[in-house]
Every structure is written in C-alpha cells, then in structure tokens.
Structure 1
Amino acid sequence: MSISTNPFGQPPEAGFLDAEALESLANEFFKTLPGSTVPPFGVSPQSVLPTNAEPWQSQGNRFNPGEPQTSLPDPHFAGGQIPKSVAGSGVSPSAIQQWNMFNVAPQQTTPPDPKFAGQGKVPQSVAGSGISPSAGHQGNGVDLANPQTSLPDPHVTGQGKVPPSVAGSGISPSIAQKNHAGFALPFAEQSFETDLLQALASVNVFSVQPQLPVSAPSRLNDYYFLAGNHSLPHVHETNPFSTVAPSNRHGISSLGSPPFDVNLIKQDFPILQERVNGRPLIWLDNAATTQKPKPVIARISYFYEHENSNIHRAAHELAARATDAYEEAREKVRQFLNAGSTNEIVFVRGATEAINLVAKSWGEQNLQAGDEIIVSHLEHHANIVPWQQLAAKKGVKLRVIPVDDDGQILLDEYTNLLNHRTRLVSFTQVSNALGTVTPARQIIERAHQAGARVLVDGAQSVSHMRVDLRSLNPDWFVFSGHKIFGPTGIGVLYGKEDLLNETQPWQGGGNMIKDVTFEHTQYHNAPSRFEAGTGNIADAVGLGAALDYVSKLGIDLINQYEHYLLVYATRLLKEVPGLRLVGTAPDKASVLSFTLNGYSNDEVGQALNQEGIAVRTGHHCAQPILRRFGLESTVRPSLAFYNTCSDVDALVSTLHRLSGNRQKK
C-alpha cells in the first residue's frame, strides 16, 4: 500500500473509523499473523439501556456498564505505515498529514488572529508582568457567548453519506454514525481491506523471542504477549531482569513488537480490573498519571526481595546487584531517548525537580540582569515558576510565546521575541492542558541560531510519541516516570554531557564527590554530581521496566492507536449539545479539555465518577493558558493505549445524559 496515496479511497472529509464495524476485519487480520495465538474477537456487547432511555442512547452505544470492556481496537491502529517521528523531526504535522494517508495540502482551520498576524504585537500577559489576564484582555477571538470558537476539523467532517455497515448488515454503528447521516466510512472501497492486511502483515510480530528466562517467577511472564511461551532462553543466573535489550540507533528494542490488542493489553494492568461505584473503572486521567503494568510492579517487588542495597559504595553482593540494576535502568533511559551517553542521564524525582535543577544550578550561575528567558503560553506551572523565581532574583526578564485560538504556537511571534539577550528557551513538547504538540525542532533550531540554550519539557510527550534527542538536539530534556507507566517519585533530566560537567551541582552530599577536605571539595562528573545522597533506586529500576514495556509494544504503534482514538473521541464530543472543546490544534496528543454548559466542571467530574469514569477537573497547573481562553478550569479526559472506543462511548453517553437533563430544566 503506497503511503503517498489515500488508501481509504475517500476524500479527507470522509470521517473517522468505526471500531465496531471493523470487528470482522480485525479477525481476518489476526488470522494472518505468523505464530499468533490471539483468539478471534467477539461481538461487541449489546447496549444496556433503561426503559426510559433517551432516543440517542439506543443509537449504537456499545458500552455495557455491567460487563468488562470488550470493545475492539481499530485494526488500522496497528498499521504497518509507521508515522514519521514527531519528536525527531521537530515539525509537528497533523497525524493525518504525518502518515500521508490523506493526500491534501495543510489547511488553516482557524482564521488568523489579527493581533498576531505579522503585526509584531504581543498580548499584554507577554509583556513581562507575569499576570495572565482573561482572554478578553488579550485580544484573542474567543466569543464567550458562543463557546465553540474553533472551526470544525475538515478531516472528521461527514460528506452526507451513509456508512455501508448501516445498509442492512445487522451491525450497529456507533452513536455518532447513526445519529449523523452525514458520516461515511472512509474504507468504503473493498480494495482497502486487502491493502490493509498486506501492510499489517509485515509488522506486529516478534522478530526474535523476548529475552526473559525460563526460571523467572510466573509473574515475570505477565506480558500478555508472552503467555504460553515456554521456550524463552535463560539469560541471567541471579537476576532475571538484569539485561538491557539490544537496540538500534533509535533506542527501539530489536525484540520487535507483538500483536497490538488493547483488550489483552488491559489485562497487564491490575488496577483496570477495579470497580468504582459498581462500574468497571475507566481511567481517563492519564495526563495526571498513568497506571502501572504487572511487569513494573513485579520488577520493583523483585528489587526489594533480592537486590535491596545502597549503590556504588560497598563490596558485598547485594550492593553489586543494586548498582547493576540502577545503572542498567540508566542505560534503558538512554536507549529510549536515543541519548549519546549514560553520562547525560540524571535521575531526579520528576520533571519538576529536573527543571528546578537547571534553574538553580545553570541558571543562577550563567544568567544576569538584562538577560531574557522565553517560555510558551502553554506551559505547566513547573516550567513557569522556577524561571519567575530566577527572574526576580537575578533581574532576568521572562517573555512568553503567544498561541492562536486553537492553542498552537505562533512561530513568527516567537521569532520576533528572539534577540541577542535571549539566553534560554524553555517549552513543553505537548501541552498538558490542551494536548497541543509544539513544533519542537523549529523552536530549538531558531533558539540555537540566536545563541540560546533550550530546555524541553517532555512530561506529556514521552508516552505518546518517539523522542530522538540526537535528532531533536535540545540542551536539556526532562520527563517524569509516572507519566509513562512507571513509578512516582522518579524522573529524568537529560543534559548534554559537556554542559552538565560545566555546571556546578545544586545539592551537596554523598555519592557526588571525588574528594573532600575542610578546605576544598572536588565533584564527580555527570551524572553523579547531580545525584547527591541515596536516590530512589528501586523506582529507577521500575522506570527501566516501564520503558521496556512501552518499547515492546512499540511507541509508533502506540502513537497510531492513540491518534485514531483521539479522532474518534473528538468527533463524538463535538456532537454533545453545549460542550465546548478547548484546544483544537490539528497536531494534538491524547488530551480532550472541555466545558459543558449548565454544569460546573466539578459537577461533570462527579457525574462521570458515578459511572466509574476518572477524569481530571481544575486548572491542571496551567492557569495562564486556560485564562488565554477566558477560563479558570476545564474537564480533562486524557487517553492512553489501554483505553478503548467503549471507554469513549461511556464518557460520551454520560455527557449526553447530562446535556439532556440540562435542556429539560
């Protein structure tokens, strides 16, 4: 299947994929997988509806609150057409453009804001005051009387066609498809099925067997895709985890990727079997923290049962085991990020501590009055407050890159901010409040051309897209383990090795010194100079296990799956009366912020909780960007690879019920 043509045989406006109608296609796909033992998919459960159900509730809603989730992943999500690296390229094309599956030119979906249309003007909040006024004071085009301010995404707008699955096939389309006759299945031409199967047959199977030992405890084989495998080679006498998988230059394990079946993947996450208020837990709070798979839980337990010791400072066996496990975790991080050396990987508590480390070490040592720091309007408080503190202490000026009404970085305005006084640019790769994917490479390249250093906050990007630091070329990159299915209290600061070694440490203590007298202290080189005291050894090891898990699934497959799930959810949410989506950039990761007319955000969150659905409500530690849209808070569902179309259906069903109740009042 040529990736330069549209395999769907439809214009880009034809819509999104129907997970239910793809069941039979998924069955056929998995039959083609060499050596696959994945059982055939079952038929999606029938809707469970009260006798007084609203009319829309009978329109193909597949969620049964009394049964486990059995909705099928869209087989297109496991496609053989691997997307171009978003993180590696720095250019953030929309996912549709990224995969070249729609042969269309990029479109400007929102009229440009005249405040920023080449006029060189900067919103009031950007003028160094640190105050983020409401949208009305910033001159953006938000019409608070008409909450949905962004134009519809042309990629998910129907063409007035009826999907083939509706024409007497007996298959019930999703809510959106039956309620909206304007929708047409994008794969109406049958030749697409053949092309799809040919493309997928070349991926999603192990190229070699995973390197886990036969003698390992049974829980070590809790990867769903290792079930029933009894011929795995023994690789380590003492510690069955003590290996670093061979990888290519992109940090991807040569073990290959298994068949991507979200329903089986869910079985790897024990907490997803929980019930909340009598309903199966639906975890849609992934931007706040992700759940942990069994291999991560087992790895941490194994450390405390067999390896627990302090590291680097003893000659006994357990110290050697603990040191090996800790340093192997550092190498796994290096591979995952494609960093140049383990000396560039510093373990910290999380992204927040990593940013503070740079601010209070490099920043205090190198910045002076009159220098300027640039951040974007999208930033989490953790990437604002440390720089504000530094600015107040050193007389440095903080400047802000504005965004348009869709929440996209305005690159021309950013370029206008750069000057000879710019010493640092610090920005997020993915917005935690809006999901916007920023044009990272372009921001970094322009900063370096101006002679500035660059820090990238990757807390919201590492679990959704490939990060290739040697291609991206930031000076620092930070992320938190708990955002990528690892433990809390552990994170990573990547820094270029020479830059780290030139920077004086911000904390002193054991493990970071070569020699100490009462007159003088000599520090180790990086990373040890920034890891004073006893660190979070066990959770660093757990983070390594989490990165193993993500690598085995395949970050590119995760990226594809989550994109289509995001498109599916976006279309359905747009059909909820009174719902306003906040953050509608075409280049987004799996975040869906919204408000619902007639309800406070907390009321919406509580109603969803009654259905077992966990979302985040509040300002998401990103007040400036919400105030850019005239808001103090939103409801924020956020997706991960273990979420399904049924999870989305349950969310939308509850929102429709709330909207209907409001209209009846």
Structure 2
Amino acid sequence: MSTRSEEPLDIGRIRDEFPILERDVGDGQRVVYLDNAATSQTPDRVVDAMSDYYRGTNANVHRGIHHLSQEASLAYENAHDRLAELIGASGGREEMVFTKNTTEGLNLVAYGWGLRELEPGDEVVLTEMEHHSSLVTWQQIAKRTGADVKFIGVDEAGHLDMEHAREIIGPDTEMVSVAHVSNTLGTVNPIAELADLAHEHDSFIFADGAQAVPHHSVDVEELGVDFYAFSGHKMCGPTGIGGLYGKKDLLAAMEPFMYGGGMVRKVEFDRTTWADVPEKFEAGTPPIAEGIALAEAADYLDDVGLDRIERHERELVEYAMDRLESFDDIEIYGPPADERAGLVSFNLDGVHAHDLASIMNDHAVAIRPGDHCTQPLHDVLGTAASARASFYLYNTKDEVDELIAAIDEARELFA
C-alpha cells in the first residue's frame, strides 16, 4: 500500500492555484515558466495571506498595546517559529531571523561575525560554484580584515572535489561557506560532510539554502550547520523576505550590523543594549505581511509534500536531460540527472545563451540566460554564459517538450 509521500502530484490541481501559468503573453501563447531558480510563482493562498493581513490586521508590531498591533505581533512572531520548524531548527524564533533574502542573511553573518572575528592569517573557505552573494560578500570582508579566501575546486562531473576540500579546510579556517545546491550546475553538495570537516578544525559552516529549501526537506540540525539562509521568493512566497538560521548561542553572541528602532532593549545617551534574537537583527519596521505570507508558503509546501516535489522535479530533469543529450550540438553542465536538483544549464553550439533565450521568449518559454551570478564558475566551465531551465512543482513534461521545440527553432534560425 502506497503512502501519500509516494503518490504523484496532481499537477492539474496544483496549476489551478497559480493563475499566472495560464496567462496569455501574446499571440494566444500560454507562458511556459522555466525560470524557477530565479523566482518561483506564488499560489493564491499565499497572496491571500498577504491581502488578509492588509485588510484585517494591518498594524506595526512590538510597538502598540491595541488589538491590531497585538494581533500582528503574534502572527509575525509565530511566522518565525513556522519557518524554523520547516528547516528543523528546534530553537524556534530564537534561531530564526527574517531578512530580505539569502544575500542579506550572508551579509548579516559576514558583518556581524566576520568583520569582528576575522584577522590576518585566518581563512574563509568557499567553493568555485558559489553564488556572487556568497563569493563577493566574503571576498570584501576578507579585504577589510586581512583574511584569505580559498576555493574548493569543482571536478569535471560538476561535483565538489572533496579531496581538495580536505586539503584546504585546516587549522587556519574560520568559516566554510558553501551553496547547498548550485544554482548553475544543480549539484547537491555534501553539507553534512563539509560541516564535519569544518568542525574538526573548530571552524563554522554557513550553507546557502536558496536552491534547497524550496525543493526538498531540509533539517539544519541533521546537517550540522552553524548558519543557513534561504529566500522566500524561490519557495512560493513573496519577495523581500528570507530567513537566516543560526545556532542560538552564536546569534546571541553576535553584534547587529543594522541599527535603529525595534532592535534595542535600553538606549541611553552614551550606550545601548540590544534586544533578544530575532529582534536584535531586525531593525526598523520589519516585513510583517511578507513574514506572515512566508509562513503560509511553508504550510503550502508541507501540504503538497516536499518529498513529492523533489521526486517530481527529478522526473522532469531526467526527462529534460534525456532529450537534450540526444543532440550532439548541446553541451550540458553539471552532474548526471540522478545526481542533481531540478535545473539544467546548457549551451547550443553557435548560439549565444541570450539569443537562445530571446527565441525561447518568442515561443513563450521563459528561461534564464547569462552567468547566473556565478561568473567565476563560468570561467572554470570555459564559457561566458549558459541557458538555464529550472523546474518546480507545477511544471510538466509537455512544457519540457515546448522547450525542446524552441531549441529546434533556434537551431534552424542560426544554421
């Protein structure tokens, strides 16, 4: 007898919750949205959660004793607990800070911890597949502190070179910062193994979960990470909201890097003491509606089933790569289909990725061309840009077929 987690997704019913997928983008063409690694679409119930807040609860949090403020404060605080629960953080809101996005989560740790703790001779270890949000942030912090940045190499199959990782994570390493899932290669990195390596040398590990949390179950305590960040707009939630998990003692010891109202306990003319986590890191009026809606997005993903979403995406990427690999003039980057997340980056011989995406757009197929905020990785790959198709719970094999048909059209145009 099959369990619910083994049942396939009801794609028709799911798509009904995303009316934008039926949008006519010109000439009677329905949009084929394959740009989910950049931003996912948002189901009606999450949009409704934001609307309900503005229509019935709109008030500032932690600043009033009237009914609306109390109600908004409770909903916003509970949203922290809900997102902590989603990623397996047992400390609840004391381990969950709301940020604008993954990038702000990285900057919060880099400034709040790195700027104060790193010094000449210390090392921050990244990977060659890091998103600019990680690479640029730690690069600039290292310049300010005198620390060095090292990079774990990527092998020809698109995996991290773990032998190299064991060589460069050493006694001078203070932080290991790594993408959980590569937004270009689709590689799922061995975070738990990297966490063990980091902790063997008394260093910390930060995992960028922007491409992981929306697509499969994440348990930060099983992974053993010290910090973990994600973005709402990639997981059926609104823009302008994300989450940073940090171990309770680490967040409590860190200094804030933004100051203002709402993050203080007591202010005097010559000194200030900080509020508790998460308020300490959420200066000013926070993204209240977005936080409440993000909690609704977490409920939505759990209701659908993250295991089912992961399996559906795996079927789509296997189907897409099987079709793409049948052509001699297409180069695919990254590991085999059964070893990657639900995205594929590729190039068509003789056609620049931006030209390919333009032709795709003529056929109402939305993909992402460019370096995907991984310019150094593209240097390693030997190409300036690639075309990326990324899948989510509402995509279908028929849409993959439309992707292939648009590629065929580009091939004929540039023949």
In the superposition, the TM-score normalised over structure 2's length comes to 0.97
Letter in 1 for 2:75: A
Letter in 1 for 2:117: N
Q: How much does 1:258 deviate?
A: 8.6
Q: Identify the match of residue 60 of structure 2 among 310, 328, 340.
A: 310
Maintained 8 Å contact 2:130/2:179: yes
1:633 matched residue in structure 2: 385
- Equivalent-residue separation in structure 1 for 2:305 and 2:175 (angstroms): 33
- Equivalent-residue separation in structure 2 for 1:354 and 1:400 (angstroms): 21
Maintained 8 Å contact 2:8/2:312: no
Residues 469-514 of structure 1, C-alpha deviations (whole Å, 9 max, x = no match): 1111211000010010100000011100111111111111111111
- Equivalent-residue separation in structure 2 for 1:306 and 1:259 (angstroms): 37
Q: Does 1:279 align with 2:29?
A: yes
- Equivalent-residue separation in structure 2 for 1:628 and 1:562 (angstroms): 27
Q: Identify the match of residue 489 of structure 1 among 240, 249, 264.
A: 240
Maintained 8 Å contact 2:353/2:385: yes
1:61 matched residue in structure 2: none
**SS in structure 2 of the partner of residue 640 of structure 1:** coil
Residues 427-475 of structure 1, C-alpha deviations (whole Å, 9 max, x = no match): 0000011111111110111111111100000001111111001111211
Q: Does 1:511 align with 2:259?
A: no
- Equivalent-residue separation in structure 1 for 2:136 and 2:129 (angstroms): 13
**SS in structure 1 of the partner of residue 79 of structure 2:** helix
1:300 matched residue in structure 2: 50
Q: Does 1:593 align with 2:345?
A: yes
1:203 matched residue in structure 2: 4
1:322 matched residue in structure 2: 72
- Equivalent-residue separation in structure 1 for 2:151 and 2:325 (angstroms): 30
1:78-477 to structure 2, matched below 5 A, reads 198=1, 200=2, 202-203=3-4, 260-277=9-26, 278-341=28-91, 342-477=93-228
Larger Rg over CA atoms:
1
**SS in structure 2 of the partner of residue 455 of structure 1:** strand
2:295 matched residue in structure 1: 544
Q: Does 1:568 align with 2:319?
A: yes
- Equivalent-residue separation in structure 1 for 2:373 and 2:8 (angstroms): 37
In structure 2, relative to structure 1, the CA distance for the partners of 1:286 and 1:479 (3 Å cut) is same
User: Which is richer in helix?
Assistant: 2
User: Which is richer in strand?
Assistant: 2
Maintained 8 Å contact 1:577/1:656: no
2:358 matched residue in structure 1: 606
1:501 matched residue in structure 2: 252
- Equivalent-residue separation in structure 2 for 1:418 and 1:611 (angstroms): 47
Q: Which runs of 5+ in 2 are unaligned?
A: none
- Equivalent-residue separation in structure 1 for 2:408 and 2:335 (angstroms): 21
Q: How much does 1:259 deviate?
A: 6.8
Maintained 8 Å contact 1:576/1:655: no
- Equivalent-residue separation in structure 2 for 1:630 and 1:523 (angstroms): 48
Letter in 2 for 1:534: T
Q: How much does 1:546 deviate?
A: 0.7
Maintained 8 Å contact 1:387/1:398: yes
Q: How much does 1:386 deviate?
A: 1.1
- % identity of equivalent residues: 37
Residues 288-319 of structure 1, C-alpha deviations (whole Å, 9 max, x = no match): 00000000000000000001110011110110
Letter in 1 for 2:61: I
Letter in 2 for 1:347: F
Q: Identify the match of residue 558 of structure 1 among 305, 309, 312.
A: 309
2:401 matched residue in structure 1: 649
Maintained 8 Å contact 1:576/1:656: no
State the number of aligned residues: 412
Q: Does 1:615 align with 2:367?
A: yes
- Larger deviation: 653-662 or 497-506? 653-662
